[in-house]
Amino acid sequence: MAGARAAAATASAGSSASSGNPPPQEPGLGELLEEFSRTQYRAKDGSGTGGSKVERIEKRCLELFGRDYCFSVIPNTNGDICGHYPRYIVFLEYESSEKEKDTFESTVQVSKLQDLIHRSKMARCRGRFVCPVILFKGKHICRSATLAGWGELYGRSGYNYFFSGGADDAWADVEDVTEEDCALRSGDTHLFDKVRGYDIKLLRYLSVKYICDLMVENKKVKFGMNVTSSEKVDKAQRYADFTLLSIPYPGCEFFKEYKDRDYMAEGLIFNWKQDYVDAPLSIPDFLTHSLNIDWSQYQCWDLVQQTQNYLKLLLSLVNSDDDSGLLVHCISGWDRTPLFISLLRLSLWADGLIHTSLKPAEILYLTVAYDWFLFGHMLVDRLSKGEEIFFFCFNFLKHITSEEFSALKTQRRKSLPARDGGFTLEDICMLRRKDRGSTTSLGSDFSLVMESSPGATGSFTYEAVELVPAGAPTQAAWRKSHSSSPQSVLWNRPQPSEDRLPSYQGLVEARSSSSSSSNHSDNFFRMGSSPLEVPKPRLAALSDRETRLQEVRSAFLAAYSSTVGLRAVAPSPSGAIGGLLEQFARGVGLRGISSNAL
């Protein structure tokens, strides 16, 4: 952790030396990150050790939601519904003004909704049911885990029955459980029909039409057993009425590579040839026409491109003209799922479309607390393994600042009058502002400019989004004139031939294996400042969207560097046989992750 301490020290020095004011901090953000990096949230521990801190976090989230929305609360006291979901699950009903809040009339029968959730939860891995978390244009954006397989379904049912004194908590206190219902448990198909039928009812209640599955597997296998499934491989095609999108995205293990490469996501490509990767990308054609993305090349994209393109897809779904909601899930729903839920929330907020009254520090607090902490992300465990997907999420905001990620652009285009061909000055300015999100990006504070070299192997497949004059001297002058930060000016200076960066295969493509993490430190060179350094103000005028996202990212880096970035986290202890049994119990969903073990 010496490197992390040095990085954090550099960040603090860089922040204090900046000519601008430090990013405004949300009261309690430091406490939130301290608690988050200490233990995993468990609903039943909310009033125990550290309970006062957790209660403050929960209360603050309710206050921030209440600024712009009228909502109902689904009680999850002591984790009765789900142990790693918030104790107070927010069900956003509609946007509201201060005057409307005084006359709020709920449109939801909470008791019946809670009953439906209680019935449906066994259909999902770890009981992490479909939960609405964002309301946009009247549509619910939801999150969950993937579907439970027979191993977890029977294992959890038997485990709950045995340890609750003969009362299966998924079926207890349900008014219409008949003898026929009990008899249905004896057959695989009937049991799946029952629990997945309730899951489908919940999806329809929330008007969800699109289901985006981030798994790289069709089914998660542990110890030779299918412990989870997914909608895309449901044999009975129970989910055929929904629009299913398989958009495989690397799991949290892959982000060890991101950390090992000094937090450089550019050029980092997942190894799609691993044995367990069997879920191809599958998106209905009618959803891809307007995005101008070559989806057939998804296995060639680096981590930046892949995240950008998937986010564009999700934004296009929620910004469509219909009233259909969206579900995003991975396996357990606490790593990749919060990554994209957070990016959706922050991107829509930056456009002024949701949480309109929240300041940058406030939306940051809400996103960290609600989307990550209260929904059970295991930050302690991930830090101990170097799997820094949480840090990646907020550092990635620098790659989505341009208008191509704006949900407003569709309306803008519709309102623009027709005109003759040719570029105007406005067009050129817009092209200049585009965020390429690659190693050629000049708008990124930590980007790396690569010169062409006869020794370079491989090639990038980044989309061309900027007009570059032909000719090496012209390009050099153009790059220098378009530099957007003091760092990029420094990096773009012509170098003597003996000082030029040598080309390595690792710069172009860093293949990863989830079973073993390779050290890429010899395959690339890092230039510039620490990844934790707070960005300095730029002279060029920024769009409102870019300014807002930059402020969120700056506030996060400042808070992270003074809390998590200065802490050395010890690995989780586990005995050989005991640890193996514990891993098996967790793998099949019989037991959640104990906060004491973390």
β 325-329/131-136 pair status: unpaired
pLDDT at 99: 63
pTM, full prediction: 0.70
Q: Is 113 exposed, middle or buried (0-12, 13-18, 19+ CB in 10 A)?
A: middle
Nearest alpha carbon to residue 459 among 450, 472, 467: 450
In a domain, 180, yes or no: no
Contact 250, 382 (CB under 8 A): no
- Residue range of the domain that includes 134: 29-159+188-405
- Coil, strand or helix: which one is 74? strand
In a domain, 94, yes or no: yes
Count how many domains the chain has.
1
Residue 268 has pLDDT above 80, yes or no: yes
- Between the alpha carbon of residue 407 and those of residues 67, 346, 351, 352, the distances in Å are 22, 12, 7, 10
In a domain, 354, yes or no: yes
Higher per-residue confidence, 349 vs 482: 349
Residue carrying the six token digits 């609405």: 132
In a domain, 455, yes or no: no
- Between the alpha carbon of residue 534 and those of residues 76, 154, 446, 452, the distances in Å are 38, 49, 11, 30
131 is catalytic: no
Nearest alpha carbon to residue 538 among 419, 445, 423, 424: 445
pLDDT at 354: 97
Tokens of 288: 């891809």
Residue 232 has pLDDT above 80, yes or no: yes
CA atoms within a 13 Å half-sphere pointing along the CA-CB vector of 482: 24
Contact 205, 569 (CB under 8 A): no
Catalytic option among 70, 131, 330, 393 = 330
In a domain, 365, yes or no: yes
What would the mean pLDDT of 307-334 be, rounded to a whole number? 95
In a domain, 244, yes or no: yes
User: Percent of the chain beyond pLDDT 70?
Assistant: 58
pLDDT band at 290 (very low <50, low <70, confident <90, very high): confident
Q: How far apart are CA 397 and CA 346, in angstroms?
A: 9
In a domain, 114, yes or no: yes
In a domain, 364, yes or no: yes
Can you spell out the DSSP letters for 542-561? --HHHHHHHHHHHHHHHHHH
What is the tally of helices (H) and strands (E) in the chain? 21, 9
Q: Is 265 exposed, middle or buried (0-12, 13-18, 19+ CB in 10 A)?
A: buried
**Which amino acid belongs to residue 563?**
T
pLDDT band at 333 (very low <50, low <70, confident <90, very high): very high
